[in-house]
Amino acid sequence: MTSIWLAPRPLLLASKSQARRSLLAAAGIPFEAMAAAIDERAAEAPLRAAEAGGDVIARHLAREKALAVSRDLPDRLVLGADQTLSLEGVILNKPRDREAAKAQLMAMSGRTHTLHAALCLAQDGKVVARDDEAAHLTFRPLTSDFIECYLDLAGESVLQSVGAYALEGLGIHLFESIEGAHSTILGLPMLPLLRLLREIGCVGT
């Protein structure tokens, strides 16, 4: 075996997330990326109306992304992934502007939130496998002055991440404790993914 990847074609990632691309690349998984053409807010709206949990919404969106791309390219193995942030039952989205980011950070100060990360593999327009994991992260108590300093330094990047932080960057200063796999926090649970890829014969055992 000269390659850990055994499938004839690369994995197709239904995402534009740089973090997910970096995780796959670091694990030696050959992949191509194609963002799924779905309206995520519209897709999750019925679940939110039914007060579904963040784990349910993450699984649903991961599935919808994988299937959307798989229907267009049915011969490819497609990976869809999604992540939600739940703060004591309230699901947060990416902040729309600096003021929204500050409000999120203040609400999360001194409290524990949960990141739900789900993945779904699809082929021929059907789900092949799926899994999800959660991580629990606790912010240290934050002062208003520190939040303003953090937002000044982080800039527009805070608008690209749910919770207004990137753990692998300046966001690390916000935390008191973290429980969960690093890849799950970044939005793609790698150990469950690799297990599933081994089970379906795409990764060597």
Domain map (residue ranges) of the chain: 11-199
- Helix, strand, coil percentages (3-state) for the chain, rounded to 5, are 40, 25, 35
Average pLDDT for 103-125: 97
- pLDDT(41) > 70: yes
Q: What gap in Å lies between CA 195 and CA 189, rounded to an integer? A: 10
pLDDT value at residue 1: 52
Q: Which residues of 148-182 are buried (b: 16+ CB within 10 A; e: fewer)?
A: eebbeebeeebeebbbbbbbeebbeebeeeeebbe
Average pLDDT for 29-39: 91
Nearest to 128 by CA among 191, 193, 200: 200
Question: Considering the chain, what percentage of its residues have pLDDT values greater than 90?
Answer: 80
Beta carbons of 146 and 108 less than 8 angstroms apart: no
pTM of the model: 0.91
Write the pLDDT tens digit of every residue in 47-90.
887 888 999 999 999 999 999 999 999 899 999 999 999 999 89
Q: Which CATH class is domain 11-199?
A: alpha beta
pLDDT value at residue 47: 87
User: Which of 124-128, 134-138, 156-160, 196-200 comes out lowest in average pLDDT?
Assistant: 156-160
Please state, rounded to an integer, the average pLDDT across all residues of the chain.
Answer: 94
Q: Which residues are catalytic?
A: 82
Residue 32's H or E segment, with its range, is strand 31-33
